Amino acid sequence: MLRFRPKTIQGVTYTLDHLEGFTFTLDTEGGKRRAVIVGFSCHCFTEDIRQEHTPDYYYVHGGEKRAFDLTRHALSKRLPEIIRALYGRTVYMSKEANYFLLRTIETTELAGPYLVFFNVRRAKQKGVDVLMNVESAYLKPGMTDRASAIRFSTLIERTATGKPVPRGPLQLIKRK
């Protein structure tokens, strides 16, 4: 069963099956193998409703009404690949209680850092170590250039074992 229903705008149907949850494993410090379940929020392909949005762009999910965003939708197709490739990569702590990563997007139509916000929490179900929810993803020109960094594998290991994740000093964000 699909989590997000497709959206049809002006006769074009946009599917969202690429945002179905999935599980992946990764090796963390000390040779531990951790299973991570990944889920996605509708904020990965929608935005706040603005005056210029017509009703055909409205998208309701989980009681939340937002506007379908064609750019976010196109970029969201990259999210599963981006998440699976996080092993050995650095992520950053946001000012809030979640994390983010940046990827440089440069196509003929788009340019700028692609910002992906996510949270992690220790899983309670057997055979799964961490639950990861991708909360939002969008282009953000002018994004800050410094944040507190942590290796993704370290974040997963500390989350899986219930250890706190310390906030380190601000570092230059690596944009890949």
Range of the domain at 56: 12-172
The number of distinct structural domains making up the chain is 1
Q: Is residue 3 part of a domain?
A: no
Helix (H, G, I), strand (E, B) or coil at 44: helix
Q: Is residue 112 part of a domain?
A: yes
pLDDT in tens, 3-47: 899 999 999 999 999 999 999 999 987 789 999 999 999 999 999
Q: Is residue 1 part of a domain?
A: no
- Higher-confidence residue of 162 and 176: namely 162
Contact 104, 175 (CB under 8 A): yes
Instruction: Read off the pTM.
Output: 0.92
Q: Is residue 6 part of a domain?
A: no
